[in-house]
Each structure stands twice: as C-alpha cells, then as structure tokens.
Amino acid sequence: MDVLSDIDSLAFMRRVGRLYRHLHVALQPRLEQTLGLHPKEVQALSAVALGQDSPSAISARLGSPPPSTSRLIDRLVEANLLERHGHPDDLRRFRLVLTERGAHTLEEARALARTRLNELLGGVPTEELADADRALARLETRLGWEND
C-alpha cells in the first residue's frame, strides 16, 4: 500500500521547498544590507552556536560542498565573527568558536529575521501558523530529523 496515496508527495516537497525559497529570498536583502551577510553565513554562525564546531558539520548542515564551506568559514574568520581553535585531540583539526562580535551579529541577524518574518506572516492567523508549526515538528520527529 502506498503510504502517501492521499497526497502527491512530490507536490508536497515542492510546496515546502517553494515556501523555504520565498522566505529565504525575502530575508536575504535585509541581512545583506544591514549586516553584510548572506543567509548561509548566518546559518553557519547559528550552527557553531548550536555546537556544530567543525567544517564538516557545517558543510553537512548547509548542504554545501567542503570547498565552498571552507571559503565561507574563511570569510567569517576574516570578519572576526568566528575563530579557529586547535582541536584538543588532533592537532591537524580545529574547532570553530563564535567570537563576541559573532555572537552579537548572530543575535542581530535573528532579530532581523524575526521582524521580517512577522511582516511577511502577519496576515496569516496565528492558529494556522501554530497548526503548521506543530505539523512540521511532528513530521521532523517521525523522520528523525528534529535535531538536525
């Protein structure tokens, strides 16, 4: 039996992807104009803040190839938003740590994102947004992706 017989799974995937793309496009100009950062750079700062402190972990989280992630990390280090610290168990590796400026910038980016999302979603009834949030959270949990 087809588990998704009542819905078109590809249409569902397109809808989620389209929603993400539109929200991303709506946020990008604000982040770039105000903070000089691309959303992927903000996502990298957020990943480090959540404890994903290696380039490979950030690359996996962003869905970016390692060379692109390495250049992104270099830009964030040059901007004094991240620091590289030697790994305690392996001198060939390093851990990434938010600088004070990086932590402050991340908070600013989150505030900008909240404000912009509130502008965009302000016309949607709160209960509808809460229902959608709960449904997506349940889906993440069932797929084992809630800690991603």
Q: Domain containing 73 — which CATH number?
A: 1.10.10.10
Distance CA 48, CA 115 (A): 23
Which run of H or of E encompasses 44? helix 39-49
- CB–CB of 118/103 below 8 Å? no
Distance CA 80, CA 66 (A): 21
- Domain-located, residue 4: no
Amino acid sitting at position 102:
G
| pLDDT at site 1 | 44
- Domain-located, residue 35: yes
Q: What is the pLDDT along the chain (148 residues), one digit of tens a residue?
A: 455 667 788 888 899 999 999 998 999 999 999 999 999 999 999 999 999 999 999 999 999 999 999 999 999 999 999 999 987 777 777 899 999 999 999 999 999 999 999 999 999 999 999 999 999 999 889 988 876 5
| pLDDT at site 94 | 86
- Domain-located, residue 1: no
> 91: which 2 tokens?
């001198």
Structural domain for 122, as ranges: 9-143
| pLDDT at site 92 | 76
- Domain-located, residue 96: yes
What's the structural domain count of the chain?
1
- State how far the alpha carbon of 81 is from the alpha carbons of 22, 67, 147, in Å: 27, 19, 24
Q: What is the pTM of this model?
A: 0.83
Q: Which residues contact 51 (CB under 8 A, 6 or more apart)?
A: none
- Domain-located, residue 105: yes
- Domain-located, residue 148: no
- Domain-located, residue 84: yes
| pLDDT at site 32 | 94
